Structure 1
Amino acid sequence: MFGLTFEKLLIIGVIAVFLLGPERLPTYAAKLGQFTRTLRDMANGAKDRMREEMGPEFEEVDWKKLDPRQYDPRRIIREALLEDEPAPTIKPVTESAYAQRQRKLQAGSLPPFDTEAT
């Protein structure tokens, strides 16, 4: 959670004891506990309200499917590229470029296409 380890929390607690002093520390600890309970109640209230507004569809939603951590950009791009229609087949060139230049182009025919040209 936010990269806080036990050691870091302990250091923050020791600094808080020195800054607040032993007289005010219990008051602030109680306020922190009350704030935590308020946040938890707000989160539960939002979840209950969403459940009420969505009705029975709320239980049917696959929340793991909507988790952004499960998206793999490589997989998404691969699937997007594979969804495209296949490219039209083009007759590959079988004779040299010199021979192609020597041959006259028939009226209405397409010029030769080299599949390995960049």
Structure 2
Amino acid sequence: MPFDINGWEFLLLLVVGIVVLGPERLPEYAGKLAKLVRQVRDLAQNARVQLKDQMGPDFEDVNWQQYDPRQYDPRRIVREALLEPFKEPEDKPQSGAMAEPAQPPHDAAKPTPWDADAT
């Protein structure tokens, strides 16, 4: 089923519908619901066709599935990050070796560097 409803849930909804609407009005509302579902489906299909026409042939080979936000489950992302092996960055010094800083620290006895063109 498109709404992920199992058989017992559907049966329960049907019973609630019969109780709330009554058996004489239920077929009328079921028909209205079916008509509404068809209209929404047709609207979505027409929007999809119109979007493809407006975007042109350049976008026919785009994999739109990769942009689906439902595939980005935070639990799965964290689990995969925790399970992959740890790799030390290559620019980090090896254990015990101290790397020299890229620029020597400023000597307080010397005046502060000044760039007249920058001000």
TM-score normalized by the length of structure 1: 0.58
Q: Runs (4+) of structure 1 moved beyond 4 Å?
A: 69-72, 74-77, 88-93
The amino acid of 2:18's aligned partner reads: V
Distance in structure 1 (CA, Å) of the matches to 2:17 and 2:95 = 77
CA RMSD of aligned residues (A): 3.3
Q: Which one has the bigger helix percentage?
A: 1
1:17 Cα deviation from its structure 2 partner: 1.1
**Partner residue in 2 for 1:21:** 22
Distance in structure 2 (CA, Å) of the matches to 1:59 and 1:89 = 48
Unmatched tracts of structure 1, length 5 or more: 94-107, 109-118
Structure number with greater Rg is: 1
1:22 Cα deviation from its structure 2 partner: 1.7
Of structures 1 and 2, the one with the larger relative CO (CA 8 A, separation 6+) is 1
Q: After superposition, what is the alpha-carbon deviation per residue over 1:57-102, rounded to whole angstroms, capped at 9, x for unaligned?
A: 232111232233445635689xxxx8xx841657955xxxxxxxxx
TM-score normalized by the length of structure 2: 0.58
Distance in structure 1 (CA, Å) of the matches to 2:69 and 2:30 = 35
